[in-house]
Structure 1
Amino acid sequence: MDMSKLTKTPQELAKEPEEVALKEMDTSRDGLTSTEAAARLQEYGPNEIQKGKKKSRLWMFLKNFTSLMAILLWVGGIIAIVAGMPELGIAIWCVNVINGVFSYWQEFAAQKATDSLMKMLPTYVHVRRDGKLVQIETTELVPGDVFALQAGDAISADAMLIEASSMQVDQSALTGESVPESKNVKYDPGEGQFAESNLIYAGTTVGAGTGLAVAMATGMNTEFGKIASLTQGQTKTDGPLQKELNRLTQQLSIIAIGIGMAFFILAVVFVHYPMAKAFIFALGMIVAFIPEGLLPTVTLSLAQGVQRMAKKHALVKDLSSVETLGETTVICSDKTGTLTQNQMTVNHIWLPHKEYGVTGQGFVANGDIKYRGHKVKLDQHPELKLLLEISALDNDTRVQQADDGTPKLLGTPTEAAMIIMAEKAGLDADELGKEMVRVKELTFDSDRKRMTTINKLPDGGLRICVKGSLGDMLTQCTTILDKDGVRPIVDNDIDRASRAERDYAESGLRTLAVAYRDVPASEVPESLDSWDIKTVEQNLTLVGQAAMADPARPEIFAAVKECHEANIRIIMVTGDSPVVASNVAAQIGIVSSNKARVITGSELAAMSDEDLKSAFKDELIFARVAPEQKYKIVSTLQSMGEIVASTGDGVNDAPALKKADIGVAMGVTGTDVAKDAADMILTDDNFASIVAAIEEGRTVYNNIQKFLMYILNSNVAEAIPSVLFLFSRGLIPLPLTVMQILTIDLGTDMLPALGLGAELAEPGIMQVPPRSRNEHILTKNVLWRAFAWYGMIGAAVSTLGYFFVNMMHGWPSVALAGSGNIYVEATTMTLAAVVFTQMANVMNCRTRNASVFSIGIWKNSKINVGIFAEFLLLLALMYVPVLQDVFETGALGWQEWIFLACIPIPVFLIEELRKKIVRDHSRKPQI
């Protein structure tokens, strides 16, 4: 059979009689022959989802060495070698190599951990081949195959049902709808996409019942495959952090080259250096202004964020994703399994004379009487007891213990909710089933919308237990049970029951009505075969209703509140109904009320791009949306300048996850297609982990700015003494040699600077809006504090140290030394003064405007170790003969050490005073 010859789609064939559809598929109820199946397998290929092309490991490795910053470091190493400092050039290259290898390993490990797309499809399927039912691998299933299904089976192909018994299919992975769809052989278009009653789809699961289906599409031709194909077609662009690093590299390159050219010209014009000597001097200054530690610090900051997120059950596949999430302005969130628990739970029981609230602890009657577990005195509440018993008896779902000891539900979520409700009252469904053995079952179907069981009473009589929709149930009820017993049902009873159902529906709850009829032993026939649906489901007594919903995750309320405080907008995008979506969104605080605008998939399809952009100005929710529409929502928000995070767990979420700036998939309930498309996977499906990731992302960005501020201010302290040398026309000898300048950048400054990359979040970081997309890492504030504040303080202190040594040896009556031991001592003092100032400045850079005391002055162990390490390195430079010769340093006397010891505390306290003044005069949150 050539699929291209089909004149109708599966959706169109589903409307045709069975024989027409089978003829079109060139098959029969007995299935295919082995020969025909082999030919079709050759024609269509295996029934599997093909992965998108993965980039080679070599490319993944090399890309870490080809960024603008990495290229600048390669060039910096070459410049150092040309300038006669090969050791320095090699050191710069080693920094680049270590950083690149570390980045590659982090991404490779994360990719390996999430490379599991194929696990979603089942391994085997039972098909009819040559007229017999045989087991084959799912990859061998072909269009035209007839295969059998039962509860718990994952569906391997898009197919049309030709037999079905009480079948319900969980399509939440494809549609986002939390309630299973009832399936049968009679065509009904249903509501929404993938709702056809006689069509089932690959990637979904049979929740209850049995069936026989003919495969109509396999592999990449299924709806599952089409969505996966759409996902694979997306390409990820550079995130905000990578774009900022590229921009920063360009800025710093311009600054470094500009300063180098200026120093070259000044050295020639003012000092009359020879061209070659001036060129080497200028090259040294260029290398000094290249932030060699930027890439290691960025990588360390991101890696620290990744590690902290891993401890909070979030797996990040790409290091830069942590920072990208930190800049998020909008989160497009799925509902089912993401904001909610994907577990239907009964929370109200309506009886004709009383209403019970059902909580995690038990039952609440009229708001003041609580019944908890086995302590419920059900004999004192016969109406409640009867409803719970019927709910447990008229039920095919059971609770079992999983291998890890946790409860495992076998059956549909709706029936599971009824079972758990009964168990909260202390009823044991299995024991109850033994007391009242089931003798007959009338399975649920979408026409009568009821399920009925007949159970044998201890006295030999029968109890007919019925549950279903209220509207269809009322037509079969002639009596009602209230506090005074059974009495005839009247119009007022019907009105009250219907009004309660409407009220529940408006609150986003779904209801199941419960009724029964007892048959005395004397009226029980010898055989129940003659009892059909019409005979059984008549003259029923209405007992009450159970209202249920998929509850919100407990932690979601605080997480949503924190997002609002951080000026991050949350937009619910779900395949569930508008009423349920709006009520859940209002309940957890995404929107201010359940009156917020709800845009359905059909409405969205008719909207222009401009209309959609206009709609985003107000509170809104998207319901009943198709996969490509989620993609459209994310794309439109991005075109409006938003940085979008998209969360989800289903196949239908994958395209939006791939398109978003940051895709967040659920690790427990999420499909492998969603995980493959996402940038981050929540291993515990906890939405609160997203908020923690946002905080980490903001922290990473702040830490990069802190590092940048720290290294730039040391450059000022290095450059100003050289400016004195130039503008004095060489009368003031160089206070710092080129090797000493580079020692600060690659030696003493490096470890404390890396410690800034591990700084924890500052107080109030989640009380400020996300940074503007137009804001850059190298802001005016960073430049001002680095150059005009920290830098000038450092320059003043280091220059003072230089002149302090000269004063000790007779200056100004004696000319400044340009060589000899006094000059070596003076330059060493300048170097030491810069280092001691940087000890204070690294503490100052830990916060923007918050007091360092508020975050713990000794809390960052990496900075503490870094300060101690740079002190030891300084001692080695001063007192180790080999290093003295290389770096032109010497020992200092006790007077110089007293001078140095007086530097850090005043510098630190001056900055603390400035921060306090800023906090006292600003009404905005300060971090």
Structure 2
Amino acid sequence: MQGITPKIEKKEAGILDKVNQKSTTRYASMHMNDVYKYFGTKETGLTSEQAAGLLKKFGKNTIQRNKKQSQLKSFLKNFTSLMAILLWISGFIAIFAQMVELGIAIWAVNVINGIFSYWQEHQAQKATDSLLKMLPTYAQVLRDGKPQQINSEDLVPGDVFIIQAGNSISADARIIKSNALQVDESALTGESVLVGKQAQYAHGVGRFAEANIVFAGTVAGSGTATAVAVATGMHSEFGKIAKLTQSEKHHASPLELELNHLTKQLSLIAILIGTIFFIAAIFFVHYPIAKSFIFALGMIVAFIPEGLLPTVTLSLAQGVTRMAKKHALVKNLNSVETLGETTVICSDKTGTLTQNQMTINHLWLASHEFTVTGQGYVNNGHIQMNNQDVTIAQHPDLEMLLRVSALNNDTKVEQPKNAGDNPKIIGTPTEAALIILAQKAGMNVEEEIQKVPRIGELPFDSDRKRMSTFHKVGDKTTICVKGSLDGMLPISDTILDNGTVRPITEADKQQINAADKKYAAQGLRSLAIAYRDANDDDRLPNDPKDWTIENAETHLTFVGLTVMQDPPRPEIYEAVRKCHEASIRIIMVTGDSSLTAKSIATKIGITSDNARVITGDELAEMHTADLKKALEGEVIFARVAPEQKYRIVSTLQSNGEIVASTGDGVNDAPALKKADIGVAMGVTGTDVAKDAADMILTDDNFASIVAAIEEGRTVYSNLQKFLLYILNSNMPEAAPSILFLFSRGLIPLPLTVMQILTVDLGTDMLPALGLGAEKSEPGIMKQPPRLRTAHLLNRGIILKAFAWYGMVASIISTIGYFFVNSQHGWPNIALAASGPVYQEATTMTLAAIVFCQIAAAINCRTKNSSVFSIGIFSNRRIWGGIVFEVALLALLIYVPFLQGLFNTAPIDWHDWVLLFCIPIPLVLIEEARKLFMRKKHAPKSNVA
């Protein structure tokens, strides 16, 4: 990290300083006695009194979560958005304009919507909380000179504690003693390979690489150790990353910003129209100023779509429900739409793009090269040569490799009881892969281990990178060895070739090294297998108890290489293809090696072979301007630290990208919080990652992100559809007032205020919600993400709502008004301003608007596709809404109590026939327009 501060922006430098300050790795190079002295402890641990004092000083060993808003604040924020404020003001205006019922109704809608929004987000948060997993519950410590089991929350700096295979590690600690300890640090680094830990200091490459330090939140894969805690809770590296995550402030989502922009647009339109009507009322109708002002306020209220906010909320809630069925849990309603805007996905590799299950896929032997089929920890695959299955009996070299791999192994693989569950791994992923390899070849591993019992071992350590086990059956004694190739070849004198042991030659070594390099170039990892027949070997002491690294791990017979990788998820290929089709870039950001990262990225199609790989060390020296330029092309990030992931996301956002960041580890949490949409893994994810994320994948499946993005795009498209649907009714609602004004009052208002309310909050609501449930239009994932500058309410929607749908509905509803009056003597007699004829005429106006809205609901289901192509009856919610609005209209017309409240009157049966005919031509005319637009924008043929 040195040299980074002068080259990056001040804000980013400050973040790095916060993470790196007082790093627990500073204890790695201290003499052990100095560590004891610093914490006032010793090898036998603290006393109970010392521990109690330190607990008061440092506090509980817990990771503090962000302080949640109080329930009251969380509740009230649903009533204080810009749109909600507009509705409060609208209600007040309505009451002031002597439309008390309308004002109260608007306020009631606002209250109901706020309660519903709060309930939705509260339910999502409850589901999230149920997924969060805590740090280990207990720790084995030495206190008062003897082992004690304590709650891990009570662990303090200076405590000496014991680590065993399978334990989650509760604190950052300096190792005192180690017996072949290997730790899974993927939650911190993103790298899936276990890391060897020892008592001796050895500085590795990158963050968290000190060999004698273990970190909170990691897991012991194998071996044992004793360690002294040097940092707990929020002072641990785990805690510091959590603190960095929590320091990131909440930013308004794109949808929140867009709804605020939409509110301003609608307010401006309403005020502009109100001003026009105010002036017109004075000069055309000669109303007094006070009366003109009240009339104008009424028009402002009429042009504010009171049903928009609840419809948006309900539509997002439907999106949340649909996404939950696709294994994506959304914590915030507005995050649904943000997904649809995503332009870049910054994806972790291990456990996100890959299965986090080491799998052996190649075997190299002197006599043959084999491929291994089957994904992950399954034993129903096969070992093949030239696409033909082979058996152990056919190949003695293969049999020896499998036997050594099974015997030199401390891991158990327990097959699941229920179909579909993953096997339980007790040990390391690498050794689990070897066990599964033997099972794939038909070997009974348990039986083999019982037949050839272990009588001793030389544990793995990070210096020699080998592990040896001693086995005896009768008079025969064998040493089984596995480890890195560079540590194995120099101590191998012979090689197994077609069942015969012969001297190993330089040509053999060159061939083995060439094979290893070939696999490494593909991002694969190799593990060398060898053995030594200890019988009649005068170079070894007679008693295996006297065998040491120096005298036992030499003169080996080299058997072969087992080649493995953490394989990509099977469904990832299709998911990546869909992302590219949708113009969404995927950038791999991983703690794994460059070779592995590039291999996986190119294999699954994220990038081409020409992609640039930037390591964490390179990134540390890179100026922000250079990083911005690099992010415009194909790029992969490898060996990166947590704060560097944060920096990458931040830089992408400064480039104008909408960023989704995925991950499961503590190392991913800052980037998850910073991103526009953070996506955490629900099964393997840490509690910090889940807490930071906006969305949690309950199946850890990257493909679920693609489904969620499609859902997000669909939600935005549906928002525009019902925005068009809701706004188009404003025109026929305003037309009666326009007639009234321009006739200088000779034409009575053909629509009352309560009838306008009926359309906005009654008949329109359910069909609008039906539009919110509309499925994706064909080709929605073949379009690029919408531009940040694009808005929900655009010129096209305004023109279509007011000048097309709205104008047609205005004409039809006005005709309905005059049609009723004509049946009662107009134009020979003046238009009635009150009484039964006036009520029947306004009822017909209202009914005509409702039936025009039925046509609009059907027409709004698609933008350009034919509604018949998606199935005119395929959306049952819309048809349920249509049935509801016709039934509601009938109740308003025929129920005496409602007649008085809404100024309605019964209409004749032939009026109903006319009304039911209205939607048919409107749908057919719109279908003709869509057909014309499809032909106009169809790709031109290149055929001459």
* Both structures adopt the same fold (TM-score exceeding 0.5): yes
- The question of whether the paired residues in 2 share the 8 Å contact of 1:281 and 1:738 is answered with no
Q: 2:897 aligns with which of 875, 882, 896?
A: 882
Q: Who is 2:709 aligned against?
A: 694
Higher alpha-carbon deviation: 412-421 or 802-811: 802-811
Contact 2:24 2:237 in 1 (8 A): no
The amino acid that maps onto 1:793 is V
Q: 1:653 Cα shift?
A: 0.8
CA contact 2:88–2:107 (8 Å) conserved in 1: yes
Give me the whole-angstrom Cα distance separating, in 2, the residues matched to 1:811 and 1:12: 95
Q: Does residue 577 of structure 2 align to residue 564 of structure 1?
A: no
What does 1:763-782 correspond to in 2, within 5 Å? 763-782=778-797
Q: CA, structure 1 residues 748+9, in 2 after alignment: closer, same or farther (shift >3 Å)?
A: closer
Change in 2 beyond 3 A, CA 1:802/1:211: same
Say which SS state the counterpart of residue 437 (structure 2) adopts: helix
The answer to whether residue 887 in structure 2 is matched with residue 868 in structure 1 is no
Amino acid at match of 1:592: S
Contact 2:681 2:700 in 1 (8 A): yes
1:430 equivalenced with 2:459 (yes/no): no
For 1:475-514, what aligned pairs fall within 5 Å after superposition?
475-483=490-498, 485-514=500-529
Structure 1 distance, partners of 2:479, 2:710, is 57
**Identity within the alignment, %:** 64
The 1:364/1:98 distance shift into structure 2, 3 A limit, reads same
Corresponding residue of 2:148: 134
Q: What secondary structure sits across from 1:409 in the alignment?
A: strand
1:598 to 595, 613, 618: 613
Aligned AA (1:333) = S
Distance 1:723 1:368 in 2: 81
Does structure 1 retain, via aligned residues, the 8 Å contact 2:102–2:753? no
Q: Please, which of 56, 61, 65 is the counterpart of residue 42 of structure 1?
A: 56
Q: Which amino acid aligns with 1:476?
A: I
Q: How far 1:71 moved relative to its partner? A: 1.4
Report whether the alignment pairs 1:541 with 2:557.
yes
Distance 1:353 1:497 in 2: 12
Contact 1:300 1:758 in 2 (8 A): no
Deviations 1:441-464 (A, max 9, x none): 11111222111111123x521122
What is the one-letter code of the residue matched to 1:214? Answer: V
1:115 partner SS: helix
Classify the secondary structure of the residue corresponding to 1:466: strand
Q: Which residue of 2 aligns with 1:737?
A: 752
Deviations 1:355-390 (A, max 9, x none): 11111153454432135xxxxx31112111211111
In the alignment, the residues of structure 2 paired with residue 689 and residue 118 of structure 1 have an alpha-carbon distance, to the nearest angstrom, of 20
Is 1:195 aligned to 2:209, yes or no? yes
- What is the CA deviation profile of residues 289-339 of structure 1, one whole-angstrom value per residue up to 9, with x for unaligned ones? 111111111111111111111111111111111111121111111111111
Contact 1:394–1:465 (Cα < 8 Å) also in 2: yes
SS in 2 for 1:112: helix
Pick which of 535-544 and 780-789 moved more. 535-544
Q: Distance in 2 between matches of 1:54 and 1:882?
A: 48
Q: Sort the Cα spacing of 1:74 and 1:12 in 2 relative to 1 into closer, same or farther, 3 A.
A: closer
User: Partner letter of residue 695 of structure 2?
Assistant: M
- Residue aligning to 1:836: 851
1:112-127 to 2 correspondence within 5 Å?
A: 112-115=126-129, 119-127=133-141
CA contact (8 A) 2:132 2:686 kept: no
Deviates further, 571-580 or 15-24: 15-24
* Residue deviations 1:723-742 (CA, integer Å, cap 9, x gap): 22222222333322333222
Return the match for 2:39 from 10, 18, 25.
Answer: 25
Residues in 1 aligned to 2:571 and 2:113: alpha-carbon distance in whole angstroms: 37
Q: Distance in 2 between matches of 1:860 and 1:283?
A: 38
Q: Distance in 1 between matches of 2:81 and 2:325?
A: 30
Aligned partner (choices 911, 921, 924) of residue 926 of structure 2 = 911
Whichever residue aligns with residue 859 of structure 2, its letter is N
SS at match of 1:853: coil
Output the CA distance in 2 between the equivalents of 1:26 and 1:889. Answer: 87
Compute the displacement of 1:819 (Å): 4.1
Corresponding position of 1:751:
766
The one of 513, 527, 530 equivalent to 2:543 is 527
Q: Are 1:293 and 1:754, in contact at CA under 8 Å, matched by a contact in 2?
A: no
- Deviation string, structure 1 residues 428-479 (Cα, Å, up to 9, x no partner): 221100111111111111222111111123x521122111111211111111
CA contact (8 A) 1:387 1:543 kept: yes
Q: Return the offset for 1:879.
A: 2.0
User: Which moved further from structure 2: 858-867 or 674-683?
Assistant: 858-867
Residue from 777, 799, 823 that aligns with 1:784: 799
2:324 is matched with: 310
- Match for residue 359 of structure 1 among 367, 373, 379: 373
What's the secondary structure of 1:859's corresponding residue? Answer: coil
Whichever residue aligns with residue 278 of structure 1, its letter is S
Whether 1:675 aligns to 2:690 is yes
Residue type of the partner of 2:810? A
Q: What SS does structure 1 have at the residue aligned with 2:139? A: strand
**Deviation at 1:684?**
0.9
Equivalences for residues 318-329 of structure 1 within 5 A: 318-329=332-343
Letter in 2 for 1:710: Y
Instruction: Verify the 8 A CA contact 2:343 2:657 in the aligned structure 1.
Output: yes
2:833 and 2:462 map into 1 onto residues whose CA distance is 98
Partner of 2:187: 173
Deviation at 1:810, TM superposition (A): 4.5
Unaligned runs of 5+ in 1: 1-6, 372-376
Displacement, 1:850?
1.4
Aligned twin of 2:406: 392
In 2, Cα distance between equivalents of 1:597 and 1:872: 63
Match of 1:650 among 655, 662, 665: 665
Asked if the contact 1:116/1:672 (under 8 Å) is kept, the reply is no
Select 1:805's aligned residue among 814, 820, 845. 820
- Following TM superposition, by how much is the alpha carbon of 1:90 offset from its aligned partner in structure 2, in angstroms? 2.1
TM-score (norm. length: structure 1): 0.95
Matched, 1:578 2:597: no
Residues 54-73 of structure 1 aligned to structure 2 (within 5 Å): 54-73=68-87
8 Å CA contact 2:590, 2:638 repeated in 1: yes
Tell me which residue corresponds to 1:270.
284
**Which residue of the partner structure matches residue 440 of structure 1?**
456
Match of 1:212 in 2: 226
Q: Is the 1:296–1:754 Cα contact (8 Å) retained in structure 2?
A: no
SS in 1 for 2:45: coil
- SS of the aligned residue for 1:585 comes to helix
Q: What is the CA distance between 1:923 and its match in structure 2? A: 4.0
Corresponding residue for residue 167 of structure 2 = 153
Q: 2:121 aligns with which of 72, 84, 107?
A: 107
Residue 3 of structure 1 is matched in structure 2 by none
**Residue 368 (1) aligns with residue 382 (2):** no
> What is the one-letter code of the residue matched to 1:799?
T
Q: Counterpart in 1 of 2:699?
A: 684
Structure 1 residue 825: deviation in Å?
A: 2.6
Residue correspondences, number? 912
Contact 1:577-1:624 within 8 A present in 2 as well: yes
Which sections of structure 2, spanning at least 5 residues, go unmatched?
1-20, 375-379
- Tell me the equivalent position of 1:856: 871
Mapped contact 1:48–1:118 kept (Cα < 8 A): no
1:633-654 CA distances to partner (integer Å, 9 max, x unpaired)?
A: 1111111111111111111111
Taking the aligned partners of 1:129 and 1:849, their CA distance within structure 2 comes to: 74
Partner letter of residue 74 of structure 2?
A: M
Asked whether 1:587 is paired with 2:587, we answer no
TM-score, length basis structure 2: 0.94
**Cα shift at 1:8:** 8.8
Distance 1:701 1:486, change over 3 A: same
Distance 1:738 1:28 in 2: 83
- Code of the aligned partner of 1:713: N
With over 3 angstroms needed to count, the CA separation of the structure-2 counterparts of 1:364 and 1:394, relative to structure 1, is closer
User: What is aligned with 1:91?
Assistant: 105
User: Partner amino acid for 1:349?
Assistant: L
Q: Deviations over 1:803-862 (max 9, x none)?
A: 333343454455444444333332222221111111010111111111112222122222
Indicate whether 1:449 and 2:465 are aligned.
yes
Task: Quote the Cα distance in structure 2 between the aligned partners of 1:883 and 1:131.
Answer: 84
d(CA) in 2 for partners of 1:367, 1:238:
58
Per the TM alignment, residue 253 of structure 1 is displaced from its structure 2 partner at its CA by 1.2
Question: By how many angstroms is 1:625 displaced?
Answer: 0.7
